[in-house]
Amino acid sequence: MKRFLGLICSFCLVMLIAAPLWAAEDSPLLPGEPYLIGAGDVLDISVWKDEAQTKTVVVLPDGTISFPLIGQVVAEGKTVAQLSDEIRQKVSQFMPDPVLTVIVHQVNSMLIYVVGRVNNPGRFLLSTNINVLQAITMAGGLNPFAKRDRITVMRGEGDNTTILSFNYDEVAAGENLAQNIRLRRGDVVVVP
């Protein structure tokens, strides 16, 4: 019995140590895939040695922020580095060689929606990348009346909407896993 408990404890320890590594793989901030700022995100912007130019701003629904001296700037869809460069260029008209820092203080724009025959439909804020099966789990799982083979993901891209199919039973059985796609900001999982 002691040996069995020792094996379980060892397994749990390995899982705890490895968990951060798995989380890092799923991070929306992987190298090569920089985070794009979205509406609702909270940004800390500061100019070194100038308290008047230090501000916490919320990206408005139209994708803009307001910053002293330069007014409104479009932030949505830009990386932190791109926004920082743009603000630095605009502020440099008023002060020589500004040292500017932009930090995403809070991510509020990574939303997905799960609607239909799930136990807890709604809007979900993501702090990491997730796939369709994980989204359904976040929504409390399928209810008994769900049409498990007719689930869809609606993905808006500009003015177009792409509809992707998802068969719950196939993915749960480890088959046709390509349909278990990673979800993007604004995706809607529809469970008929």
Asked if the model's pLDDT at residue 20 lies above 80, the reply is no
Q: Where in the chain is the domain with CATH 3.10.560.10?
A: 111-191
Per cent of the chain over pLDDT 70 is: 83
Residue 96 has phi, psi (to 5 degrees) of -75, 140
Rounded to an integer, the average pLDDT of 77-84 is 95
Q: Where in the chain is the domain with CATH 3.30.1950.10?
A: 42-106
Identify the band that residue 8 occupies on the pLDDT scale cut at 50, 70 and 90: very low
Rounded to an integer, the average pLDDT of 130-151 is 96
Could you tell me the CATH superfamily of domain 42-106? Answer: wza like domain (3.30.1950.10)
Beta strands in the chain (DSSP E): 42-47, 50-58, 64-67, 71-74, 100-106, 111-116, 122-125, 151-157, 160-166, 188-191
Identify the band that residue 32 occupies on the pLDDT scale cut at 50, 70 and 90: low
The CATH code that applies to domain 111-191 is 3.10.560.10
Asked if the model's pLDDT at residue 186 lies above 80, the reply is yes
